[in-house]
Structure 1
Amino acid sequence: MKISKQSLEEQAADFLRQQILAGHYVSGDKLTESTLAKDLELSRTTVRMALNTLASEGLVSQKPYAGWSVTTLTDHDIWEIYHLRVALESQAAQMAAETITPEKAVRLRKELDVFKEICQQDGVSITEVTFYDFELHKLIIELSESARLAHMYKSVINQLSIYIRITHFDFDIEDSANTHIGLVEAICAGEPERARKLAIENISTFTEMGHKLKHEHTKQMDED
């Protein structure tokens, strides 16, 4: 018998997390404990614990008398997430460049090569490109050797992934990986300050959004 090291709760949380991040459940979708328990062949208690785990990650929320649903992010939520991503990714890039080794550089360049191949495939979707974009940045986070930073980033990136699927941006899929070349090379060359600046510039997909949300947030605060 093959024994899983994960508890049933962890397995359920992993499955539901993947379903949400893959877009099978979208913002606002209701998640019924009894239905999920039946579909997953688990107890409602196990499903509830899994949903609580996802709630701590910002992926689902629970309202009294309304039950569970996939999180719907407000403009203010996105404004916060955007700036957190800028802060975390730029710091991680700087730290990764400070501690880079030949072995780490090989891993980083290989991850970028995979990303490039994905972007060159015919019919590749924005969901797939976003996944490999995040995989590259998660590796940079890992190479920074900061467990706390990695934990914070996981929560932010999960919520950001939800938002990307429900918005429409002028997104150049084919060139997405190429925009990361300078960042990767700066890290591999051990240039912390250049890596930090390029990490900020690299979030080009969200730069205009960031300015827009900042303006709207400031306007709202003035009105209040």
Structure 2
Amino acid sequence: MALKKIQKHSAEKLAADAIREYILGGQIAPGARLTEIHLAERFSLSRATIRGAMQRMVQEGLLVLVPYVGWEVMSITSHDAWELYTLRQSLEALAARLASERIDEKGKATLKAAYQKLVEASAARNLKDVSAADFKLHRAIIELSGHTRLAHQYQLIEQQISLYIFWSDFMPSHESVYQVVLEHHGPIVEAILAGNSETAARLAAEHNIDAGLKLVHHLEQLEAERAKAA
């Protein structure tokens, strides 16, 4: 009996991973409906397993269960973006502070490697790779904080922000973005490596405020355009 329970939970986790990738990979738009039958057929799993996985996605903030309607991918609003980025600002400032206070040689190597990936992606002028390297660098700082609960909360927020950016086409396409992304992240990395906790926290907060305000403004423009067209 215990073995069957473990198998069931494992299947739900695998289904949750598949649905998460399906959403974050941009294969379905925010606000779109999802049905248990469709996903069960797509992933060759039972509806009960899919239902459990979708409930996990609700907890992560990627899906919502609308009464009398069904499951929907979370929709994008400027207010949602504001909430996420202000919370992310607090978490990343704390993570940068803690990382700078406890970083060792192994941690420094990890952080340098993550930043180097961002440098290489910027040099290659590949926006998709820059975005991926950007998120991985932030994750590295979170992990270096040594704060498990902080890392868990950040993961939930990061997934939602990733979806927001993908579907709002927020990443700029002009050439200066490749230099700007390094100018924003380089000083944060340097402060952490130097063990300067106050500077690291301040720079991390400022970076998130700047990025957050830009995304909120972009979404406000999209909302105004939709309202005008309605």
Aligned-residue Cα RMSD (Å) equals 2.3
| Aligned residue number for residue 4 of structure 2 | none
User: Are 2:24 and 1:31 equivalent residues in the alignment?
Assistant: no
Alignment deviations for residues 16-41 of structure 1 (CA, whole Å, 9 cap, x no partner): 11121121122012111101101111
Aligned letter for 1:179? Answer: H
Of the candidates 193, 198, 216, which is equivalent to residue 193 of structure 1?
Answer: 198
Aligned letter for 1:87? Answer: S
User: Are 2:157 and 1:152 equivalent residues in the alignment?
Assistant: no
Is the Cα–Cα contact under 8 Å of residues 85 and 156 in structure 1 kept in the other structure?
A: yes
SS at match of 2:124: coil
Of the candidates 204, 213, 222, which is equivalent to residue 207 of structure 1?
Answer: 213
| Aligned residue number for residue 217 of structure 1 | none
Is the Cα–Cα contact under 8 Å of residues 79 and 216 in structure 2 kept in the other structure?
A: no
| Aligned residue number for residue 18 of structure 2 | 15
Measure, in 1, the Cα distance between the counterparts of 2:213 and 2:198: 20
Measure, in 2, the Cα distance between the counterparts of 1:170 and 1:70: 21
User: Are 2:55 and 1:52 equivalent residues in the alignment?
Assistant: yes
Q: Unaligned stretches of 5+ in structure 1?
A: 214-224
Deviation at 1:199, TM superposition (A): 0.6
Measure, in 2, the Cα distance between the counterparts of 1:118 and 1:16: 28
Measure, in 2, the Cα distance between the counterparts of 1:191 and 1:211: 32
Deviation at 1:210, TM superposition (A): 5.7
Alignment deviations for residues 26-61 of structure 1 (CA, whole Å, 9 cap, x no partner): 201211110110111100000011111111000011
Alignment deviations for residues 170-215 of structure 1 (CA, whole Å, 9 cap, x no partner): 73541224421110010011000000111122233323456899xx
Measure, in 2, the Cα distance between the counterparts of 1:191 and 1:106: 17
SS at match of 1:68: strand
Deviation at 1:115, TM superposition (A): 1.6
Q: Unaligned stretches of 5+ in structure 2?
A: 1-6, 220-230
Measure, in 1, the Cα distance between the counterparts of 2:44 and 2:214: 45
Q: How many residues are paired up?
A: 209
Aligned letter for 1:207? Answer: L
Normalization by structure 2: what TM-score? 0.83
Identify the structure with the greater helix proportion. 2
Structure 1 residues 161, 121: CA separation in 2 closer, same or farther (over 3 Å shift)? same
User: Are 2:93 and 1:90 equivalent residues in the alignment?
Assistant: yes
Structure 1 residues 199, 55: CA separation in 2 closer, same or farther (over 3 Å shift)? same
Is the Cα–Cα contact under 8 Å of residues 12 and 49 in structure 2 kept in the other structure?
A: yes
